[in-house]
Amino acid sequence: MKTENPWLHRYAILVALFALLAIVTGAIVTSLERPIAVTPAAPAIDPAFEFWHHMAGGAVVVLMLILALALRGPLGWIGLGAGILDGVLGAKAITNALPELSGILHALLAQTFFGCIVAVAVMASASWKHGPQPIEDTWRPSMRSLAIAVPAIVLLQTTLGAAYRYRAIGVIWHILDAMIVLLLILIVAVFLIRQFPQHPTLRPASVALAVITSVQVMLGFTTFMMLILFPETSLAVVITSVLHVATGALTFGAGLALAILMRYNAVPVNRRSLTEK
């Protein structure tokens, strides 16, 4: 992927911000429309929230189309396809017919769409253009493998969270996977920060991932406590739930960015060959 134009990087960041806005407005709609324990007294959602969610979603698909045309590569078209399919799944006719399945897939595709845009932004950055600054990956399991596992398990966590929201599973699976996500990210991020404190891309990416994940875990705990203390459509619960969803997307984006940078910079080294030298 050619990255001579710095405006491509800036535009990709703009598209990512719009995608995050669409995710946030979608989280507001979900929090108000489908509380975890639906009761007959649950209030009807304000049509204005749905309007702005659809507007944000439509805008980001149009922006993604322009980005895909500028890239002329498969990544942009994959992202555009995910965005269009996500919009279809978010249509009222689909959500009314298949509320649980469409809701879970809608959340999964939204994260995939956001991840494609983050990947484009990373690969269009100036640091990527200047080439890798290699590090030797001599560890077992390899740090490249662990870093690549981070966005995969975060995406699973997002899916489990959506499944819990739509009452397809219990909250225990979401909590258990959250512990695994936190442990894996701490292992990868802390190790990279300590081992490569001067690396220009891996260290800041690791710090960002560790900070965002810490905030995400705190918001998850806060949301759980708010659900115990307040009604599910109360302002306090809606705010913490929406922030939890937003930082979940940022966690996935930060994890994906770190995985891409690790794959770009880390050079696999055969440990046996090292011992033979």
Q: What is the pLDDT of residues 214-262, one digit of tens each?
A: 999 999 999 889 888 888 778 888 899 999 999 999 999 999 999 999 9
Q: What is the pLDDT of residues 116-132, one digit of tens each?
A: 999 999 999 988 988 89
For the chain, what is the mean pLDDT? 85
Least confident of 8-17, 139-148, 149-158: 139-148
Q: Give the pLDDT of residue 38.
A: 42
pLDDT at 44 over 80: no
Q: Give the pLDDT of residue 49.
A: 73
Q: Give the pLDDT of residue 39.
A: 43
pLDDT at 37 over 60: no
Q: What is the pLDDT of residues 176-214, one digit of tens each?
A: 999 999 999 999 999 999 989 999 999 999 999 999 999
Q: Which of helix, strand or coil describes residue 144?
A: helix
Assign 138 a pLDDT band (cuts: 50, 70, 90). confident
Q: According to the 3-state scheme, what is the secondary structure of 189-237?
A: HHHHHHHCCCCCCHHHHHHHHHHHHHHHHHHHHHHHHHHHHCCCCCHHH
Q: Give the pLDDT of residue 273.
A: 46
Assign 45 a pLDDT band (cuts: 50, 70, 90). low
C-alpha closest to that of 158 among 264, 32, 26, 38: 26
Q: Give the pLDDT of residue 72.
A: 79
**246 Cβ partners below 8 Å, 6+ apart?**
20, 23, 24, 27
* Mean pLDDT score, 55-64: 93
Question: How far is residue 140 from each of residues 115, 176, 233, 268, 269, measured CA to CA in Å?
Answer: 27, 25, 47, 11, 10
Q: What are phi and psi of 135, to 5 degrees?
A: -125, 150
pLDDT at 1 over 80: no
pLDDT at 51 over 90: no
Q: Distance from CA of residue 69 to its chain's centroid?
A: 23
Q: Give the pLDDT of residue 116.
A: 94
Q: What is the pLDDT of residues 145-169, one digit of tens each?
A: 999 999 999 999 999 998 888 888 8
